[in-house]
């Protein structure tokens, strides 16, 4: 890693990793609920969080909101996976989660997208401050 990178470059890296994290969550859901191929990429959330903690304390609140949205999304995925497991145990085979569970997807996706939008807005403000300095 090049530790000489400017804060602007760290901000750019952070934003890219955050966007990749949100995309990763949807791909992970498709894999876990509908058996689509697993992503060959690693979850970028750890790198995004590391960049934020080390270089971008100005984004603490936005990143915290993002982590909460990710946690909510992951909990929803876990509940759906439990439904699949229960169906398999009862002999129904490897079926997708219930329609009622899947109907909640837009709400969790909207929460995730809102958190990403907050990060984008706060990142834009920080970028302007960095360029003016």
Q: Tell me the mean pLDDT in the region 80-108.
A: 95
- Measure the CA–CA gap between 124 and 126, rounded to whole angstroms: 5
**Residue 79 predicted with pLDDT over 80:** yes
- Pick the closest to residue 45 from 23, 66, 18, 85 (CA basis): 18
11 contacts 63 by C-beta, under 8 angstroms: no
Interval 26-63: pLDDT, tens: 999 999 999 999 988 899 999 999 999 999 999 999 99
CA 71 to mean position of chain CA atoms: 9
**Residue 1 predicted with pLDDT over 50:** no
Instruction: Delineate the domains of the chain, giving CATH numbers in brackets.
Output: 7-132 (1.20.120)
């Amino acid at each position: 890693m090049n530790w000489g990178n400017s804060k602007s470059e760290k901000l750019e890296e952070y934003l890219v990793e955050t966007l990749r994290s949100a995309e990763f969550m949807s791909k992970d859901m498709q894999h876990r609920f509908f058996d689509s191929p697993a992503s060959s990429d690693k979850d970028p959330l750890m790198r995004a969080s590391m960049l934020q903690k080390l270089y971008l304390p100005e984004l603490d609140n936005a990143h915290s909101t993002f982590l909460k949205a990710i946690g909510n999304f992951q909990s929803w995925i876990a509940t759906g996976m439990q439904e699949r497991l229960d169906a398999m145990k009862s002999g129904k085979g490897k079926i997708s989660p219930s329609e009622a569970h899947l109907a909640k997807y837009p709400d969790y996706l909207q929460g995730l997208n809102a958190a990403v939008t907050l990060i984008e807005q706060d990142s834009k403000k920080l970028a302007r401050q960095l360029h003016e300095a």
